[in-house]
Amino acid sequence: MSNPTARPVATVAVIGAGPVGLAAAAHLVERGLTPIVLEAGEGPADAIRQWGHVRLFSPWRFDIDSAAKRLLEAQGWTGPDPDGLPTGHELIDAYLAPLAKAPEIAPHLRYGTRVVAVSRLGVDKTCTIGREGRPYLVRTRSAAGEWDDLVVDAVIDASGTWGRRNPLGAHGLAAPGEDDAAAWAAGPLPDVLGAERDRFAGKRVLVVGMGHSAANTLLNLAALAEQEPGTAVTWAIRGDSPTRLYGGGSADALPARGTIGTRLRGLVEAGAIELVTGFTIDRFEPQADGSVVVAGNVGGVERTIAADQVAAATGFRPDLEMLREIRLELDAIVEAPAKLAPLIDPNFHSCGTVPPHGEADLAQPDEGFYLVGMKSYGRAPTFLLATGYEQVRSIAAALAGDREAADKVELELPETGVCSSSRSLDATSIAEAGEAGGCCGTAAKVEPELVAISSRGLATGVLHGHSGERRELPQLKETGGCCG
């Protein structure tokens, strides 16, 4: 599966115009290939716009792809301060929007175009004879409802996972009464201190989940509660301890991220946030006033939590329906490419123990088709934006016939504190690192602007370079990356 196609490649469909999709386009253009970028939204990075108020924990120097930077600088673009921390809106306005408007990229962008299916031209999934070497048919539907079939030589699916939330209920299933459209359903990253302030001020708010989406919302809610009396914040997790999210504190090479856990821990210990551990949700009972009673259990004992708003920070999963006619080799656990899955399985790995990987690890039985970016990680929460950039660099090289460059996968970046293997598996080390930060024993004034981002939505950051050795680590308990 390491041979990208059985014929020369000229055109490549790129599904999604987010950071990784646009980076793929930049690398393809640089290699002399023609990208056709299909974006369901009306502008670049439409999903990021939906959480644009959130500030990333990684500075600009880790947020910009190398080929995209070369393309932009050739046109006189001056990049932001490499040590600055952009919000989602700033990531788009200062980097992704200019990239999308670049003359090398803009003619190949199609907005308002949703991909509904991908197949090999002229055959269905069951046909083997004569399958290899066939081009791909990408079926799309416009916002106006118009259908179109696009024929290309290869496909890079960078559509992400933002629109496919994991359910709040136990067993991986939506609980009875769970409704994303309900008045009490606040979504994964609500703008608590901005556009949606009135929705949360003076209300009872339940946050469910244990990733950076949850941390973002919790810290902003704590800031709101200081300003708006009556705002009550409850945090529910399935695991027995929030230690993993408290993280590496001052030991984190990204200081903005290191403060997240220590601040959150301080607020919990001070009582500003009520923490409920070991909580699994069985059902939602909507009330006449628009609120909801969340019924579940803790250790087999029924527990109910009344809330006016529920923030679902339980992560995302990939949309595989549109790929039913593609021959995919996916891991049964995390729904990631089979070769990649052992490197990212959250039962064994945190983001810092994931080695760099490229085309050879992402290739599928249908040659020339790739899942990249967040979607390539399936249900695993360990994706980092810099990893996606390296994925598409390697794939573009392979599609252009440069096998040597495709196989030379490198990503040497600084140690990432909480994401390093030693800390991800050692709760004592995490706790000690958090205490070393010096702020976890007080509920001091909460800064309203959080430097965090969903670890399952479009996580960004840095990845420490590894040798690529695949090794199994001791299995994490429920407080690990996938079950918290």
Q: What is the pLDDT of residue 253?
A: 54
- Kindly state whether residues 287 and 300 are assigned to the same domain: yes
- Kindly state whether residues 233 and 287 are assigned to the same domain: yes
Does 2 reside within a domain? no
Say if residues 392 and 23 touch (Cβ distance below 8 Å). yes
- Six-digit token pair at 73? 């600088």
- Kindly state whether residues 308 and 185 are assigned to the same domain: yes
Crossing angle of helices 66-73/19-30, nearest 10°? 70
Structurally, how many domains does the chain consist of?
Answer: 2
Q: What is the pLDDT of residue 463?
A: 30
- Kindly state whether residues 186 and 139 are assigned to the same domain: no
- Kindly state whether residues 380 and 302 are assigned to the same domain: no
Return the sign of the alpha-carbon dihedral for residues 267, 269, 274, 275.
Answer: positive
- Kindly state whether residues 180 and 259 are assigned to the same domain: yes
Does 444 reside within a domain? no
Does 174 reside within a domain? yes
- Kindly state whether residues 196 and 123 are assigned to the same domain: no
**CATH for 210:** 3.50.50.60
CA distances from 33 to 10, 137, 153, 381, 473 (A): 5, 18, 10, 32, 40
Does 484 reside within a domain? no
pLDDT along the chain (484 residues), means of 10: 64 98 98 98 96 88 95 96 94 98 98 97 95 96 94 98 93 95 94 97 97 90 96 96 73 61 92 97 97 96 97 94 97 94 77 77 97 95 88 97 94 46 26 24 33 32 33 31 34
Q: What is the pLDDT of residue 410?
A: 84
Residues in contact with 385: Cβ distance below 8 Å, sequence separation at least 6, in sequence order: 19, 20, 58, 62, 63, 458, 459, 460, 461
Virtual torsion, Cα 461, 110, 359, 133, nearest 10 deg:
170
CA atoms of 313 and 481, how far apart (whole Å):
13
- Kindly state whether residues 298 and 323 are assigned to the same domain: no
Report the predicted TM-score, pTM, of the whole model to 2 decimal places: 0.82
Name beta bridge partners: 281: 296
Does 462 reside within a domain? no
- Kindly state whether residues 185 and 324 are assigned to the same domain: no
Q: What is the pLDDT of residue 353?
A: 60
- Kindly state whether residues 86 and 126 are assigned to the same domain: yes
- Kindly state whether residues 194 and 247 are assigned to the same domain: yes
Residue labelled with tokens 């716009």: 49
Beta strand 154-157 with 11-15 is: parallel
CA atoms of 372 and 416, how far apart (whole Å):
22
Does 468 reside within a domain? no
Q: What is the pLDDT of residue 2?
A: 53
Q: What is the pLDDT of residue 211?
A: 84
CA atoms of 24 and 18, how far apart (whole Å):
10
Distance from CA of residue 256 to its chain's centroid?
A: 18
Does 460 reside within a domain? no
Q: What is the pLDDT of residue 56?
A: 85
CA atoms of 446 and 266, how far apart (whole Å):
10
Q: What is the pLDDT of residue 156?
A: 98
- Kindly state whether residues 126 and 113 are assigned to the same domain: yes
Does 310 reside within a domain? yes
For 219, the domain range is 170-314+416-436
Distance from CA of residue 444 to its chain's centroid?
A: 30
